[in-house]
Chain A
Amino acid sequence: MKKLINDPADVVPEALRGLALAHPELRVDHENRVVLRADAPVRGKVGLVSGGGSGHEPMHAGFVGMGMLDAACAGEVFTSPVPDQVVAATRGVDGGAGVLHIVKNYTGDVMNFEMAAELVAAEADTEVVAVVTDDDVAVQDSLYTAGRRGVGVTVLVEKLAGAAAEEGRPLAQVADIAKRVNANGRSMGMALTSCTVPAAGRPTFDLPDDEMEIGIGIHGEPGRRRVPLAPAREVAEMLLEPVLADLDMTGGDGVIAFVNGMGGTPLLELYLMYAEVVAVLEKAGVGVARNLVGSYMTSLDMAGCSVTLLKADDELLRLWDAPVRTPSLRWGA
């Protein structure tokens, strides 16, 4: 394992120390490993809290700021935060208008956020609503799985619900936006290489040079199937075919297309992939209204990408264009 670390056990707190130094506009609660907007809680505004295992940077702490999240809880690498962290974050962003928890659908994340919401309810009169993202079409959604994983759409939920909260909308409406984005978004990912969890010290899975994994998640968990390596244009088809089969993306006001890097893939390749994605969408009669290309929700050093499509409407596009000022997503402000 070759990593820019000191001790594998200290990766998360040491990274948070650097984040705090790099971004004085954020407030970092090192004891609880919670990153907050410096001006939190914002009076009268719905507070947005997300969080999850570390190793997906910039998600979530990189999206804390005006127009997006109010706080992010950093768990250990690929391990959901514990209830105490979520409780501290919820208290820290409660400006009197309630708090929205944005939770990715993983067994641990859901359980820890649920326990936190129970603890908050037992101690304070803060209203908490949780929205669980589950947009990954690689996973069968049935009684026989933990349900679809929350992946790329989470970034879009944080942006769009964050914009709605910034407008001063009440908790129920902000939660509705988040649910609508999740319901209208679908994702599919692939990996060219595994990732290496610092504490494990070696790649999570072995992937030969001439093969790739289709249908991976964001934790280095193997995908649904392993296939021979193919050119980018075929990869784009493999990723979009199940997405488009799962939800009709034609008509309406077009889609927000999000090509996301998994951490170890250069932007050069991501732009190339984006062109292939647009070509497939054109053939399918799907218009692209907005896009996001870059590594926003990563899986440590994994090479690969995911594609997320969100069927948009006027309101979602307006919220997308609204100003945002965070370490890793910023425009109009």
Chain B
Amino acid sequence: MSAVDAAALTAWVREFARLVHEQRDALTQLDAAIGDADHGANLDRGMTAAVAALEATPSDDPAAVLKTVATTLIKTVGGASGPLYGTFFLRAAGALDGDDGRALATAVRAGYDGVVARGKAERGDKTMLDALGPACDALDEALGSGKPLGEALGAAAEAAAAGRDATEPLVARKGRASYLGERSAGHVDPGAASSTLLVQAAATALAGEG
């Protein structure tokens, strides 16, 4: 049986980078509505650099792969998404212990907790947590009921997308969109949208692993 090893995690990162690049303008448009029109460009720059860093220094150590992504994002993205996505991958790297689905779920949960701590936000604030949180819950639940990783990640991706869509009517309480007050309602949060891509990338790239 294959495993959630360094190669699999690298494939996840590559797929996320591909999706971010493909959705770059859509993410920027979401950000233009309630933020400052740079989310797609910034994350695309960061993930392109992360893929380049993984190519420059390939590793067999799964945690090292996640850590390289983390430090690259922190060094290149800036804004709020650099520290937040960087913290996600950094904490996930620190918590990764093993190469099965459970280990991945534990790492992703640690990454989520890191984003909560760094951003001082909670679910319902109209942020990336609204996609990542439900995704973590769905992943844990599916693995807990004995589903294979591919199926569990599929459920996580669906939960992330539902969480993303549910940000539309919310009034933002964190980040730049919160400056708009009530006017932030009626738009999907760009951070929740990019976080959904992260989970969808996992579902695509890791479907056959663990």
Contact = CB atoms under 8 A, between A and B. Distances in A.
A82 to B, nearest CB: 5
B194 interface: no
A205 B32 contact: yes
Given A106-B176, A199-B41, A79 B79 contact: yes
B173 A145 contact: yes
A107 B175 contact: yes
Contacts of B83: 83, 108, 111-112, 115
A200 B32 contact: yes
A112 B176 contact: no
B47 to A, nearest CB: 15
B80 A107 contact: yes
A84 B37 CA distance: 24
Contacts of A139: 178-179
B180 interface: yes
A80 interface: yes
Interface string A119-148: 000000000000000000011100111100
A138 B179 contact: yes
B37 A146 contact: no
B174 A146 contact: yes
Nearest to B42: A79
A200 B37 contact: yes
Contact of A221 (B81, B173, B176): B176
Residues of B contacting A: mostly: helix
Given A144-B173, A146-B179, A221-B180, A79 B78 contact: yes
A82 B76 CA distance: 7
A290 interface: no
A216 B34 CA distance: 12
A221 B179 contact: yes
Interface string B92-117: 00000000000000000000000000
Contacts of B178: 139, 144-146
B76 to A, nearest CB: 7
Interface string A98-111: 00000000111001
Contacts of A53: 78-79
Contacts of B173: 143-145
A293 B37 CA distance: 29
A121 B34 CA distance: 35
Interface of A: 53, 75-84, 106-108, 111-112, 115, 138-140, 143-146, 149, 197, 199-200, 204-205, 217, 219-222, 224
21 contacts: A53-B78, A75-B78, A76-B41, A76-B78, A76-B79, A78-B38, A79-B79, A80-B78, A80-B80, A107-B80, A107-B176, A112-B79, A139-B178, A144-B178, A197-B37, A205-B32, A217-B176, A219-B36, A221-B176, A224-B181, A224-B183
Given A76-B45, A79-B79, 4 more contacts: A111-B80, A112-B78, A221-B179, A222-B180
